[in-house]
Structure 1
């Protein structure tokens, strides 16, 4: 067989980059499977098997058929029970007196299944003493690898947005509702969100920002206790009320990942961040 022409050889680096962008980063089997491999055809079975048997076998008393083998269910990873873990997370968060203590107790917490598949705890980035705190939903692949929120393409767009209103990561504090990456970048389940909620609520309380910015509908719905969609929420000031009763003005806006998919809506996010800039100016 002649060698393939150079221009027909696939770009392996581009293919791997496509898989990584799509979230395909886990193997299903230990060894690769060639699903295009030609297999030898199975020999045809005679249509009348009783005629093919010798006369002695046909006259012999029939034996009871052996029972079919019992199929055992495939082993499933043990699931962490949710009920007590929410209360345990709430207790741990309440006992953390500083952000460093909160980070330590989260790193030692095993009550969320997401931790088992994540590479790193993604706690925060930026300045914890900043006047504005931005909160997303959950880390992606790049964030999981680096252990910091918003460092991929979404984070680069967020940096440009912040720069447009005279802010950068030294002047904001950034975190996520969920500190561990869900496998394949899937959406966190309601149970996973409720387990992690006490940690982000305590993180907000310990940071004490003057303004909250919810990046995306998941963050806004979770922390503002609403079911409204982000396109209805965005652009309107809301009030975040923490477990201790503290109230902070909050601006829901569109997630940078959504803006990358829908560039026409960047103008809406721009209006939201202008509101944030004016609010910070009024509070300073």
Structure 2
């Protein structure tokens, strides 16, 4: 079976298990050497049915430009493939909310199978949720491990992970931008070697 067929089967099972959710599946090369994993889609991603297309997508484009990597050469997905939303107490509007541990756990096996199918050389986790989902370690923090290679086991294989802050975190915390850019430059040298 091809990677495309394996992913199609995985995604059909995912859609059945999470019926009624606003689902956005992974996108990109199914044989990519580099996989990027975010937390969950937001309203723009749901509207366009594609990961990382909103404001975080703009930051991701800058990230890819620095790396010298085209979006069409990688695979992009989320640890949780449906929108996590709540009604804002302030505005009464639907807003994104953080993932709860049971949601991470409910989605983890699907993410790990997705990664096993694609079999990348390097997995870049964007934020705490994908980092914890891939490693299964809920005590780990992006602030402690960002910008360096970690190794983890996924369904019998060893994979390298490069944790980064999520591009959206730069929107809300401009002070992280220099750290984020330095981590990306380090990642670029890793990819080139």
Task: Quickly name the TM-score band, shorter chain normalised.
Answer: 0.7 to 0.9
Structure with more contact order per residue of length (Cα contacts < 8 Å, sep ≥ 6): 2
User: Residues of 2 paired with 1:210 and 1:273: CA distance?
Assistant: 17
**Post-superposition CA distance 1:94-139 (Å, at most 9, x none):** xx971121112212224xxxx43x33x2111222222110001111
User: Residues of 1 paired with 2:80 and 2:191: CA distance?
Assistant: 26
Cα offset, 1:280, TM superposition: 2.0
Which ranges of 4 or more aligned residues in structure 1 deviate by more than 3 Å?
none
Work out whether residues 251 and 272 of structure 1, in 8 Å CA contact, stay in contact via their aligned partners in 2: no
Work out whether residues 233 and 252 of structure 1, in 8 Å CA contact, stay in contact via their aligned partners in 2: yes
Q: Which deviates the most, 140-149 or 272-281?
A: 272-281
Unaligned runs of 5+ in 1: 1-95
SS for the counterpart of 1:202 is helix
User: Residues of 2 paired with 1:176 and 1:167: CA distance?
Assistant: 19
Unaligned runs of 5+ in 2: 87-95
Closer, same or farther in 2 for the Cα pair 1:126/1:101, shift >3 Å? same
Counterpart position of 2:117? 206
TM-score by length of 1: 0.60
Larger Rg computed on CA atoms: 1
Q: CA RMSD in A?
A: 1.7
Q: From the two aligned structures, give the one with the greater strand fraction.
A: 2
Counterpart position of 2:93? none
**Post-superposition CA distance 1:245-280 (Å, at most 9, x none):** 211111111111101112221221122222222222
**Post-superposition CA distance 1:10-51 (Å, at most 9, x none):** xxxxxxxxxxxxxxxxxxxxxxxxxxxxxxxxxxxxxxxxxx
Note the 1:212-227 alignment, pairs <5 A. Answer: 212-226=123-137, 227=139
How many residue pairs are counted as aligned between the two chains? 180
Counterpart position of 1:101? 9
